Chain A
Amino acid sequence: MKMMSTIERGVATSGYVTWLPQRPVFFLLFLFLFSSLSILAQTQQVSGVITDQTGKPLTGASVIIKGSQQGTNTNEQGRFTINAPANATLVISSIGFNSQEVPVKGQNAVNVQMGVSTQALGEVVVVSYGTQTKRNITGAVQTLNAKELADIPVAQVTQKLQGKLAGVQINQGTGRPGEGMQLRIRGQASINAQGQPLYVVDGFPIVGDISTINPDEIESISVLKDAASTSLYGSRAAFGVVLIQTKRGKTGQTNLSVNAYYGVQQVPEKGRPQMMNAREFAQFQKERYEFNAQAVPAEYQNPSQYGEGTNWYDILLRTAPIQNYSISMNSSRDRFSNAATVSFFDQQGVVLNSGYQRFSARLNTEYRFTDKLKLGLNIAPMYTINNGPVTTDGVLWSGGIIMSAILTSPIAPHINPDGSLPLTAGGTGLFPNPNWYRTVQEVEAKTKTFRVLSNASLDYEFIKDLNFRTTINIDLGQSQFSRFSPSTTGAIFAPPPQKATAQANNSNYHSWLSENTLTYKKVFGDHNFDGLVGYTVQKFRSDALSISKTDFPDDRIRTITAGATTTASTSDIQEWSLLSYLARLNYNFKGRYILSAAIRRDGSSRFGTNNKWGNFPSISAGWIVSDESFMSQIKALSFLKLRASYGLVGNNNIGNYPYYASVNAANYAFNGVLANGRSLTSLANLDLGWERTKQVDLGVDIGLFSNRITLGYDYYSKNTDGLLYSVAIPSEAGFNSVLTNLGQFKFWGHEFTVSTQNLVNKFRWNTDFNISFNDNKVMKLGNTNAPIYGNTNTTITRLGGRIGEFWGFDYLGVYQNQADVDKSAKYATSAVGTAKLRDVNGDGVITNTNDDKTIIGNPWPKFLLGITNSFAYKNFDLSIVASGSYGNKIMNRTLESTLNLDGVFNVLKDVNNRWKSQQQPGNGLPSVKSGTTDLIRYPNTYWVSDGSYLTIKNIALGYNVPLRNKKYFHNVRIYGSIQQALVLTNYSGANPEVSGGSNPQSNTSGGDALNQGIDWTAYPVPRTFTVGVNFGL
């Protein structure tokens, strides 16, 4: 270590400048004829000392002769020496300080004291196609930098954002390692498309989400919420835009840092399903048979012979390690800067046989040929291995192992007394099940993904402040999935021995983007202009291949080659292309009155011939009121800005070929021989166009007491028109739906943020708080306003209501006695002790149709909040992050099975409190009377409960080890952290952070608005205890 750092410094302070080749530079200057090569005047030696605001020497500050490539860095005493023309100007910069320009004026000694750039509002924020000072921003943008996200040891950056962003709902629906999470910005939702924002990494809109990107590579994240901020991303911006800036070399610095953490994950006891144990289950079965006057099978005749039995939930779980190691190096010297990060992340899953590993690297470099010309190259390869049971999440009939396992008889053992493993786990009168302990461990399923993100950019300054930038970006990915299910494994209703099956999928994609922009800045007195025009081209293609086989001779050869019979083989090619023009003009007068207008014109392969192109304009304005002289009397008010914006953005997330009428295979056989057939499976719609969201945003930013308190408020209102969705049509047409642009949603909300520096002296305490209120309303649906039923008739989206409200029966309890039955509305099987439902249409009869169903819950929160408290005392720091949601309802669809009264599943302990007789009416669950139990298996109010929660997401305590000698380490920091420390909720299911799945019968994040708040059981979210260390060299 010692040697390394010495060498590093040696290079930095001595030979670096002369080492670099000169010839290419010369060539370029010659070729472009924009030479600014100054004729070297007579030079002299200049030296001096650079100090910080307190007078201490600054090491590694960069000193460059303005207008040339010549420069040097200060040494450990803050001293520099350089040969400079007598009329030269030195540019001195160092991270964290305002850079300064000092004319040499023939002097031999130049000493400079630097000023700290602490002005938060002077902070430069990454915005669409450029950067902007926070002060001048007129849209709704929230930015977080790496420092604010440190110490949260999680696999993906999205987890770190929980609780930090106003108006953004981030739910961790599943704890499955490697699973992406969804950001819902300002409640935006659509019907056909998932609600994911557009992720832009270093200016490149990437494929998919950012779950595979190593959080250690990220420098800052900007979340763009309003149309004015996002309209330069046009047709893809309706769900908001998340801009990720990765780490790059910082001027004048060379450093190396090593970060490592190790943690242990556990599933908390709270939230585990309270299923009956073996004794309770036998008792329940016994009572059920007796109630129905049937003979009790031997297995259940004597419940007291059983004890706890098998807890099928617990046996799937384990305590699992999580670890991460990362080395970053960055340096910037003269014309060359680079930042490199190499990481290894390994998370074993808390469910047996699951885990996720990621190897990632990133190299960001920049080479400045001249002041006018620079080349940037970034490359970030990553490789992930996701290992685990194919389906852990979701409902039993789509194979969810967790849900299937908890329904298995607790009497059945997962390990025999002799230590051998049974094949099956059944019981008298029960559905046959595999031994889940074996299935979860013996199914081999693995996804290996390789991905490279890379960008190259070239910047050229034609004349002062007129810059041309061209970039080429490539996102390449390759993914390989393989599964082998041996004969000893199975699924619910399909116990082993089964024929072994295997599957292999291969897919790859590439997306390339070329962007060309021209920017120009000009100041006329108090008038400041800057403008941008650009032209971009992007194209995507993916190729996928999948093959499934069965009839393996045995379980020994586990690759698909050994399977005798192919059960499925498919291939798919997807492509899209996008051609765009963009322009923006920013203007401000005296830095006080700010105006900005932007437009993007997008042409897309996805849309019908009649609607290929769309225009997405926006306009915004800001007024820094606190700069007005009449405000100067108000001493407490240090900053006040009013903002307003309006714009139009689009959603093109509807698949690649929606407007084509597809003709698909519809094979038949004639006399035992395959006959290839085809049929039209969708209707063409050449008029198909963008889903357009118009958004108004009104905001105010306030700073009080020298910005010790900063407040932000935004009101927004959005109108999504031309909703892209499959309008249901009567099936007499031969089709169930046709994709159209008929529909309208309205969204609105209020967002507040407060940041306070509560204590600023020896003991420092900062609080960041945000709260947001969002709501939505359905304004129009199709041509007939026919409601949309989602999630197998579990949600309804109808005119005047909200999107995806729960739909079902209003459960009133049970019929207490015959008089109750006689006077109440009845279903076909109603009797004393059976489920009593509200007769919604009042016809005296309960029918299992929409007539007696009603809205039974709103999945959208009334408000979302997040609080981060940070404390620091001497070398200690502590931060506590909490996030919460209030007023949303959750429908626990697991109860359809875990409250099943037919005796085919294990059930919740609660079932013991069912109606048993008029003397034992129980707590509202109906009786086990045979043939009467079907009605409560449909969505009803009994399944709906309050989903409010407040979760302490992370507590991190750090200690900066005081170093006597900083020769080898700049800093050493150790920390301990607890992720998912505490969940406060009344929700009885495993996890209140239920989000809509892309698969309607799974919790796995996907963001389908019609499936919001429906819990189908998921991989549990563990609590993680971690210790970590950071070394800075």
Chain B
Amino acid sequence: MNKSIIAGCFLIASFGSCKKDFLELPPQSFISSATFYKTQEDFAQAINGTYAALRSLYSDAYVMGEMRSDNTHYIFKATDRGGQNVQREQIADFLDDASNAFIANKWTSSYNIIARANQILAQIDAASFDNTAKNNIRGQALFLRAFSYYELVQYFGDVPLHLVPTQGVEDAALAKTAKAGVYTQIIADAKEAATLLPLKSVQEKGRVSSGTAKTLLGYVYMTLKQYGDAATVLKEITGSNQYTLLTDYAAVFALNNKNSSESVFEVQYIQGSLGLQSNFAYLFIPGLTNTTPITGVVGNNQIIGGWNTPTRDLINSYEANDKRKDASIAYYTDAGGVTYPYVKKYLHTHANYNNTDDNWPVYRYSDVLLLLAEALNEQNKSSEALAPLNLVRKRAGLTDVTTTSQTELRDIISKERRLELAFENHRWLDLVRTGKAIEVMTAYGAKVKANPQAYYYPAGSAPLTQSYNVTQTRLLFPIPDREIILNPLLK
């Protein structure tokens, strides 16, 4: 009897399982695109995921944004010539080439944001949910796409313009769009974002608002030297009653002032084990076997530290009473008696090594004010420019500027931007935008070469002779070689 049951079971097991859907086994550990991008919650998650890509864009942004300029240098590691070090140094020294991983990260991270935004923009219209929520998400996606293209066009010039999601191999590689065309798209997106997005006061804290989109527009117009348009849109921000300067400069970066009334756009981080922490403080302090004296937390940052070190040039350009100096820079003297300055804007109380809570300020209200001052001055409205300029100076504990000479004011505003926004990745692009990059960086390079030890080279080391050959081509970065191999249209 039992044998026949066994026999029967065999047959049932064999034939009973061949249902039609036997070969359909959808994944259970991740969602597939076929079931995503449908509901309001899906799009809410998708837009958060788009912001998430900002984190990798900003992890290295200081290399091309700040270390490339005369604001910061690096502490030369004579004993660690690994690629991750050499490539950062090469960007600072104007020796970078197309194989540079940091340049590749700028390209890849920017296009990641664009691709995620494109997915939302292509599919959100087909979903049906509350229109206000939909417009808000659309606005954020449009802003993030425009913002990323603005990064790309400033650092690389002509770039391929992807506005719809890639389907596969066939549509992955596009020809470059000339700068002007990229800017046209950025302006269109940013304008639409500015109308779709709510004001900061009603937007969830940390998300972009209409003011953020207008700041981006202001930047774009400044870059295109459309000063009138810039002033108009920047005035909309100052007139919106959404933003004020905090009274204390140092407090701007304090952890309890994240997304404060001065904040226009910040990349958000939280410390802890969620993987959402920042670590800028540990990159920017000198490499130490034990970081406790600076950060209060035990750890060894010899491998990762020693970058974005403030230069003497920058330190010396603060006026005597400038409160921003001590709020931005601190000093560490090593056992050998050598003193190194370091950036302290991103160093606040935290619990674990290499795991900080600090956000990265992308746009601040003082930035908007200085940009407005610059826009007005460039339109020969020097006296009108003084008001926003002096608001920023006053907060820094400095006396008002009174000159109305356009030329003098141009230099003053430039210096003010350098100090107010030091270590916030504006300096290099400001130099390029204002046409000062070659002049300033050539002079700076001569100083570094003349006295390497003052620029944190140990005895016996010096920058290479070929360094700081700042030519017109160096105002842009090379498109990464991987991209050119895979898309010959980028040559």
Q: Which residues of A contact B (CB under 8 A)?
A: 24, 27-28, 31, 292-294, 369, 375, 429, 431-432, 456, 458, 470-472, 493-495, 497, 514-516, 535, 537, 539, 565-568, 571-577, 579, 603-605, 612, 656-657, 660-664, 666-680, 683-685, 727-736, 738, 740, 742, 782-784, 786-787, 828-829, 847-850, 902-904, 930-931, 933-934, 937-938
Q: Kindly supply a per-residue 1/0 record for chain B positions 23-42, scoring 1 wherever the CB is within 8 Å of any chain A CB and 0 otherwise.
A: 11111111111101000001
A666 pairs with B49, CB closer than 8 A: yes
B48 pairs with A656, CB closer than 8 A: no
A661 pairs with B32, CB closer than 8 A: yes
> Given A493-B302, A537-B17, A573-B28, do A294 and B486 touch, yes or no (CB 8 Å)?
no
Q: Chain B interface secondary structure, helix, strand, loop or mixed? A: loop
The distance from the CB of A435 to the nearest CB of chain B, in whole angstroms, is 15
The distance from the CB of A135 to the nearest CB of chain B, in whole angstroms, is 34
The distance from the CB of B274 to the nearest CB of chain A, in whole angstroms, is 6
Q: Kindly supply a per-residue 1/0 record for chain B positions 9-23, scoring 1 wherever the CB is within 8 Å of any chain A CB and 0 otherwise.
A: 111011101100011
What B residues does A680 contact at CB under 8 A? 33, 36, 115-116, 119
> Given A470-B10, A567-B273, A676-B45, do A734 and B206 touch, yes or no (CB 8 Å)?
no
A294 pairs with B458, CB closer than 8 A: yes
User: What CA separation (Å) do A782 and B173 show in the bound complex?
Assistant: 13
With CB as the reference atom, state the residue of chain A lying closest to B1.
A27
What B residues does A662 contact at CB under 8 A? 27, 30-33
B172 pairs with A657, CB closer than 8 A: no
User: What CA separation (Å) do A429 and B50 show in the bound complex?
Assistant: 43
Q: Which residue in A535, A539, A673, A674 is a CB contact (below 8 Å) of B14?
A: A535
The distance from the CB of A11 to the nearest CB of chain B, in whole angstroms, is 23
Q: Kindly supply a per-residue 1/0 record for chain B positions 76-118, scoring 1 wherever the CB is within 8 Å of any chain A CB and 0 otherwise.
A: 1011111100100000000101110000000110011011101
The distance from the CB of B457 to the nearest CB of chain A, in whole angstroms, is 9
User: What CA separation (Å) do A732 and B173 show in the bound complex?
Assistant: 7
Q: Which residue in B55, B460, B462, B466 is a CB contact (below 8 Å) of A828?
A: B466
What A residues does B459 contact at CB under 8 A? 293-294
The distance from the CB of A538 to the nearest CB of chain B, in whole angstroms, is 10
Q: Does B166 contact A (CB under 8 A)?
A: yes
The distance from the CB of A681 to the nearest CB of chain B, in whole angstroms, is 8
With CB as the reference atom, state the residue of chain B lying closest to A679.
B49
With CB as the reference atom, state the residue of chain A lying closest to B460.
A292
Q: Which chain B residues in 40-80 approach chain A with CB under 8 Å?
A: 42, 45-53, 55, 76, 78-80
A734 pairs with B115, CB closer than 8 A: yes
Q: Which residue in B4, B207, B298 is a CB contact (below 8 Å) of A670?
A: B207
What A residues does B22 contact at CB under 8 A? 537, 539, 577, 579, 605
What A residues does B97 contact at CB under 8 A? 847-849
Query: How many pairs of A and B residues are in contact by the CB < 8 Å rule?
Result: 297
Q: Which residue in B1, B26, B461 is a CB contact (below 8 Å) of A660?
A: B26
User: What CA separation (Å) do A575 and B26 show in the bound complex?
Assistant: 9
B169 pairs with A679, CB closer than 8 A: no
What are 16 A-B pairs at a CB distance below 8 A?
A24-B3, A27-B4, A579-B22, A657-B26, A662-B32, A666-B53, A667-B52, A668-B52, A674-B270, A678-B36, A678-B48, A732-B172, A733-B111, A734-B118, A786-B485, A902-B81
The distance from the CB of B7 to the nearest CB of chain A, in whole angstroms, is 6
B82 pairs with A930, CB closer than 8 A: no
What B residues does A933 contact at CB under 8 A? 81
B25 pairs with A656, CB closer than 8 A: yes
The distance from the CB of A169 to the nearest CB of chain B, in whole angstroms, is 31
> Given A573-B28, A667-B276, A847-B97, do A684 and B206 touch, yes or no (CB 8 Å)?
no
> Given A24-B3, A375-B3, A660-B27, do A470 and B300 touch, yes or no (CB 8 Å)?
no
The distance from the CB of A676 to the nearest CB of chain B, in whole angstroms, is 6
A729 pairs with B300, CB closer than 8 A: no
User: What CA separation (Å) do A744 and B53 show in the bound complex?
Assistant: 35
With CB as the reference atom, state the residue of chain B lying closest to A681.
B30
List 4 extra interface pairs beyond A679-B50, A680-B115, A902-B81, CB under 8 A.
A535-B14, A605-B25, A670-B268, A731-B108
The distance from the CB of A990 to the nearest CB of chain B, in whole angstroms, is 24
A678 pairs with B46, CB closer than 8 A: yes
> Given A493-B302, A537-B14, A537-B18, do A675 and B173 touch, yes or no (CB 8 Å)?
no
What A residues does B207 contact at CB under 8 A? 670
Q: Does B464 contact A (CB under 8 A)?
A: yes
A732 pairs with B487, CB closer than 8 A: yes
What A residues does B466 contact at CB under 8 A? 828
User: What CA separation (Å) do A572 and B29 show in the bound complex?
Assistant: 6
Q: Which residue in B34, B111, B481 is a CB contact (below 8 Å) of A849?
A: B481
Q: Kindly supply a per-residue 1/0 record for chain B positions 167-181, scoring 1 wherever the CB is within 8 Å of any chain A CB and 0 otherwise.
A: 111111110000000
A-B pairs, 4 with minimum CB distance:
A734-B115, A677-B48, A679-B49, A670-B206
Q: Kindly supply a per-residue 1/0 record for chain B positions 262-286, scoring 1 wherever the CB is within 8 Å of any chain A CB and 0 otherwise.
A: 0000001110011110000000000
User: What CA separation (Å) do A530 and B367 show in the bound complex?
Assistant: 86
